[in-house]
Each structure stands twice: as structure tokens, then as C-alpha cells.
Amino acid sequence: MSLATVILCGGSGSRLWPLSREAYPKQFLNLTAGQSLLGETVARVAQLKSKGKVSVVSNEEHRFLVAQSLEEQKGIERLPIILEPAGRNTAPAIAIAALQALEYDPDVVLLVLPADHVIGKSDVFAEAVEKAGVQAKQGKLVTFGIVPDSPHTGYGYIKANIGESGVAPVEQFVEKPDLTTAESYIDSGQYYWNSGMFMFRADRYLEELKKFRSDIYSACEKSYAGRQADLDFMRVDKAAFEACPDDSIDYAVMEKTQDAVVIPLDAGWSDVGSWSTLWEIQDKDSDGNVKVGDVITEDVEGSYIHSEGRLIAAIGLKNHVIVETDDVVMVADKDRVQDVKKLVAQVKAQDREEYRFHKRVHRPWGTYEGISKSDRFQVKRITVKPGGRLSLQKHHHRAEHWVIVSGTAKVTRGEEEMILTEDQSTYIPLGVVHRLENPGVIPVELIEVQTGSYLGEDDIVRFDDTYGRA
């Protein structure tokens, strides 16, 4: 079977705030294992019998995070990362990926996976993929139905009468039900959670999309025709893609086609959609608590407590969620975690940066972290990875002082070039063109002190950038 795995890497994961933020959402977080959810997804694909190629669909802002995650994975063959100029839901994203895959193989089968799911039993998942591949090659559009273990009201459902063959036509897609309805679904034994994972031939998906949503198909075809290569990325035509209607694969194709089939999957699946689901899938202590990081409890039951650094000491709590980061402490009743989105909306409405950024901000060359800030100065800790290179730039409103803490840095300052090592420093006056690079094999760490009348990140004029940023 010629396989291409399409990993959908959009979404903000706002229900897992404050760990998940707009600039660094949950698919890049290490929540359940030794690597990010995206990394887990790619590693799971690498274990399949038919590995094939991997294509990731991402947005512009997260492109370097995706590229870094893929670089860390071994045993996969990558296609260029598809960059969406705007979010248009899953139907167009998969269409672009299908057009890309067909360039390499006209008979290619697509395995479509979200980047942020957890699957505890990779071997069971691999068996289901092999079974789905047989159906896909015959022209069926396969969806994986999760065998439910509770009457969950946060998932959509799929109705199908699956016998001994382990596959059946989809009878009905059902929206998220209320509790009573969900209980009746579980009792019937004919309903499965809608996982959002699919498998089909690329040409069959496009054929059905053209039949039922020709407007989406035409917009994607036009957008793909105007594609351009950029480093490890593929950019589709912006105007054509932005004109594409917004719709999910469920509504656009799966609910309309006569060839949809479902294969049950009982592999320890979770979409990690909230703090309560994260609590459900992790190991608990004798009091039913999940404790991550520096946590001390007394008379606490059934809670999820996560520390990123500072000690959390809790007493007399039941069924709570406490999450601490460098800049936020979030406390919630575990039964109300779906409302975390409302907190994020308030933070965003107040124009606070905590909805968007962590204190440590990731860039393609490394990271920076705010240490102290006032009206006319701020202090940052900057880490530049080996081979990393900031853009050649200048600032209209601020000067910068750099003190190297570790590693070896190459500094461009006006017409000068210099090498700085530990305990050495330099000064970048306002308006002087400059650049910082790491030519070494270990990270460069430095303390940057900015002074001036305006210290915003948008006070950057770039003259040259290795990573193609504007």
C-alpha cells in the first residue's frame, strides 16, 4: 500500500490554557509522554508497516515549531510542510494535502490524523490502519470510530452496526448529545465516538469533494496551482485559499458520501481536549490525584495539579484543577474546565499577552524569556541554538546591551563583526544595523538589556532573514 500520512496541525487548544497558548498550542506540548503530542503522532506513524511519506498542514505562525518537531523524528520521509494562509477547516486542508500527495503517486492512500491526540496502544492502532487500508484501496472512505467507555457529551458520535467483519457502512453521524441521549447510545452498542481520523485514496476524496462541494474543490485546485516552495515549506496561493469556503470534512464529504465506512478502534484514544480528559488518561495517586511537578497536598482528592516551576501546596480540595506557569496560576472546578475558554476570552479582551505567549517565546533560531520590565527598560534571557541566526535588523526606538553568559556568539554591529564568549559584552546603539549568530556546537545564552522610549516586538526593521520572515 502506497501511503501518505496527513497530519493536521492547526488549532489553539485554548481549553488547556495556560499551558496551551495561541503561539505555542497543545500539539507542541509534552503532556503525557517524553515528547510533544505532534512528536508522538509522527512516532506512531513511523511504527506502521507501511510508513510512506508524512505531510503536515500548518499555519504560518507555527511553521518553524512543526519543522523542528519533524527534524527530531527518525525513520520518516517528509513531504514539504503545507502552510495555510488562513484557517478554512479540515475539508480544504485535506484537499490541498491530497493534491500534493497525488503528485508523487496517483494511487496514494491518505491516512489523516490530528496532531494532538493520544493513543495508548500503538499496536492496536497499527492493526486498524492495515484493515482500513484494504477498504481505502477499494474506494471506501474510512473513519475510525472510538469504542466508547462512557456516555461522553463532548464528542460527536457515529452510528454503525458492526458485525464480525469489523467494518460497516456509516448509518449516521450525530452531533454532541446531552447526557441522557449519550447514555442511550452507549446502551445500544451501535454508536462510536467520532475520532476525526480518516483513511481513503486521495483521488477518491477529491472526487467526492468535487461532487458535493465543488466550490471548495475549485478554490483548493486554484490555490494549489499557484503554490510556491519556501525552504522546507509549500505555500499555496493566498488569495485563492482565502476565498475558499470554511467547512469540515464531516459536513463537506463524510455525511454525504455513500461510501463512508467505520472501523472500530479501542486503543486508549483521547483527544486531550480539556484538563479533565488529561486527568482521566494519566496515572493517579491513592487519592485519585494527578500531580505534575513540585506539588504537595494534604486532604486533596480527585484533582489535577500541575506545576511548571514553583511549589504548589494545596489542602482540603476535591475535584479541582490547578495549573501554574511562570506568569499565570489557573484554578478551576474539574467539572467546569470546559469554561476555561471563557477565561481566555477575558484575557484576550483585556489585551493581555498571556492568551498568546508564554514568558518563554519560541523563535526559529531559539527562545527568549522576559526577566524584568518597566516603562523604559526590559531585561531578557536569550538562547540561540547551534547554527541559529537572528535577522539582520535595526530598531527605531531602543538600544540593546548584550552580555554573553555561555557559548560563543558572532555579532554584526554596523560595519563591525566580532566574536564574543562568556563574560564578554557589547552595546547596540539605537538605529544601528545588527545581527546575532551562533557558529558553535552548544547553545549561546545571553542577557539582553533594552532601553528606550518603546520596547515592543514590532520595532524591528529586517534587512535579511535566514528563515524567510517579513
Q: How far apart are CA 179 and CA 181, in angstroms?
A: 5
Mean pLDDT of all residues in 314-327: 96
What are the residues facing 78 on neighbouring strands?
Answer: 54
- CATH number for the domain that contains residue 405: 2.60.120.10
DSSP one-letter string for 401-465: EEEEEES-EEEEETTEEEEE-TT-EEEE-TT--EEEE--SSS-EEEEEEEEES---TT--EEEE-
Do 163 and 309 fall within a single domain? no
In a domain, 70, yes or no: yes
**Interatomic CA distance for residues 327 and 105, integer angstroms:** 48
Domain count, the chain: 3
How far, in Å, CA of 388 to CA of 465, rounded? 11
The average confidence (pLDDT) of the chain is 93
For residue 388, is it within any domain? yes
Clarify whether residues 374 and 294 are in a common domain. no
What share of the chain has pLDDT > 70, as a percent? 100
**Distances in Å between the alpha carbon of 136 and those of 23, 129, 199, 359?**
36, 10, 6, 45
**Per-residue CA distances from 186 to 101, 147, 156, 190 (Å):** 38, 9, 13, 8
Mean pLDDT of 429-455: 95
Instruction: Write the pLDDT tens digit of every residue in 367-381.
Output: 999 999 898 999 999
Domain that holds residue 307: 275-347
For 201-251, the DSSP string reads: EHHHHHHHHHHH-HHHHHHHHHHHHT-EEETTEEEPPHHHHHTSPP--HII
Question: Would 394 be classed as within a structural domain?
Answer: yes
List pLDDT tens digits, range 133-164: 999 999 999 999 999 988 888 889 999 888 77
Do 316 and 225 belong together in one domain? no
pLDDT per residue over 321-341, tens digit each?
999 999 999 999 999 998 999
The answer to whether residue 14 sits within a structural domain is: yes
Question: How far is Cα of residue 57 from the mean position of the Cα atoms in its chain?
Answer: 10
Range 1-23 average pLDDT = 90
My answer on whether 176 and 227 are in the same domain is yes
Residue where a domain terminates, one of 284, 312, 347: 347
Confidence (pLDDT) at 153 = 85
What pLDDT was estimated at residue 267?
92
Instruction: Identify whether residues 322 and 379 lie together within a single domain.
Output: no
Same domain, 177 and 30: yes
Residue 137 domain flag: yes
**Maximum pairwise Cα distance, the chain:** 76
- The answer to whether residue 213 sits within a structural domain is yes
Which pLDDT score is estimated for 80? 93
**Residue 190: which pLDDT band, with cuts at 50, 70 and 90?**
confident
The DSSP annotation for 283-313 comes to: ---TTS-EEESSEEEES-BS-EEEESSS-EE
**Location of C-alpha cell 564578554:** 424
Instruction: Give a yes or no: residue 145 inside a domain.
Output: yes
237 and 294 part of one domain: no
- Which among 23-27, 64-68, 310-314 has the top mean pLDDT? 310-314
Asked if residue 293 has pLDDT above 90, the reply is yes
429 Cβ neighbours under 8 A, 6+ residues apart: 399
Residue 355 within a domain: no
* Same domain, yes or no: 332 and 397: no
429 in the same domain as 329: no
Buried b (16+ CB within 10 A) or exposed e, 103-130: eeeeebbbbbbbbbbbbeebeebbbbbe
The distance in angstroms from the start CA to the end CA of the chain is 41
Instruction: Tell whether 289 and 427 lie within a shared domain.
Output: no
* 249-282 pLDDT tens trace: 999 999 999 999 999 999 999 989 899 999 999 9
Whether residue 133 is found in the same domain as residue 43: yes
% residues pLDDT > 90 (the chain): 77
pLDDT at position 1: 64
- The reported pLDDT for the residue numbered 149 is 87
End-of-domain residue from the set 298, 321, 347:
347
Compute the 3-state secondary structure of the chain and give helix, strand, coil in percent, each to the nearest 5: 25, 35, 40
| Pair 239, 336 in one domain | no
CATH number of the domain enclosing 251: 3.90.550.10
